Amino acid sequence: GEDVEQSLFLSVREGDSSVINCTYTDSSSTYLYWYKQEPGAGLQLLTYIFSNMDMKQDQRLTVLLNKKDKHLSLRIADTQTGDSAIYFCAETPGDYKLSFGAGTTVTVRA
């Protein structure tokens, strides 16, 4: 489902911060997620945030949630070459199923 919208590409210099943005549609989503997918691999759960929070920090990752604007962002501090991947934002429109965006391809350049 493409009700979740993300920008398609992001290029960032190694050592800088990356910010990936997402807008979602279902205000009743209990949790909002960020997943990472490397080429040819499945999805790795990076982090998620409960809908009654506005920020969550986990090591180099910071998630910000603006419920009023239905906007979610993922900040990666000190971006490394191993962070090059596709990042998916997902919401929970009902029960436990996930609805994903199309993904943001992050390229880290030296």
- By CB under 8 A, the residues from 67 to 106 that bind another protein are 88, 90, 92, 94-103
Residue 6: other Cβ atoms inside 10 A: 23
Residue 35 pairs with which residues in a beta bridge?
45, 88
Q: Which range in 9-17, 35-43, 57-65, 76-84 contacts another protein by CB under 8 A?
A: 35-43
Contact by Cβ (8 Å): 86, 104: yes
Q: Which of 39, 42, 68, 69 binds another protein (CB under 8 A)?
A: 42
Which is closer to another protein, CB of 12 or CB of 86?
Answer: 86
Cα–Cα separations (whole angstroms), residue 110 to 12, 80, 107: 9, 9, 10
> Is residue 64 a contact point for another protein (CB under 8 A)?
no
Which is closer to another protein, CB of 2 or CB of 78?
Answer: 2
